[in-house]
């Protein structure tokens, strides 16, 4: 069964329900996310000078904010939004998995969660913390 991304402009969902994030790499190696038509944010490359690149979805939390009140219908609170510096370089903002508050410096990986949308089920992007490495 095909898994449907809640926002196909930002990510696809593979058969295992995991997100596939695609960025673009310019001729200087700079990677930006998400893919867009305006060209490189770093050097202005566009068109054939840009190469699609699959991102690991792994990064480090640089900031967090907990949302305790949201005006949208059907959006449960609280939830935590994090700024995440991906291993490949782009800084993204994403929602942490339910019950995962995360801390600055924690390593996170991209995942998805199934949510109903009308009669369908779509997969929303989330990030979850990995096992904390022991610090010596």
Domain ranges across the chain: 4-129
| Joined tokens for residue 78 | 């609280």
In the DSSP assignment, the letter for residue 17 is S
Q: Categorize the per-residue pLDDT at 134 as very low, low, confident or very high, splitting at 50, 70 and 90.
A: very low
Give residues with Cβ within 8 angstroms of 136, minimum separation 6: none
pLDDT in tens, 66-102: 999 999 887 889 999 999 999 999 999 999 998 888 9
Position 32 pLDDT exceeds 70: yes
pTM: 0.89
The b/e string for 94-133 (b: 16+ C-beta within 10 A; e otherwise) is: bbbbeebebeeebbbbbbbeeeeeeeeebbbbbbbbeeee
């Amino acid at each position: 069964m095909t898994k449907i991304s809640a926002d196909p402009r930002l990510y696809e969902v593979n058969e295992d329900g995991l997100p596939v994030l695609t960025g673009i790499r310019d001729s200087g190696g700079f990677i930006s996310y998400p893919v867009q038509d305006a060209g490189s944010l770093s050097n202005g490359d566009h068109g054939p000078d840009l190469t699609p690149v699959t991102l690991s979805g792994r990064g480090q939390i640089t900031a967090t904010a907990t949302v305790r009140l949201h005006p949208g219908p059907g959006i449960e609170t609280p939830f935590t939004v994090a700024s995440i510096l991906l291993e490949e370089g782009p800084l993204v903002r994403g929602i942490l998995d339910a019950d995962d508050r995360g801390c600055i410096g924690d390593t996170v990986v991209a995942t998805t969660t199934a949510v109903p949308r009308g009669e369908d089920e779509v997969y929303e992007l989330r990030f979850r913390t990995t096992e904390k490495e022991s610090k010596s």
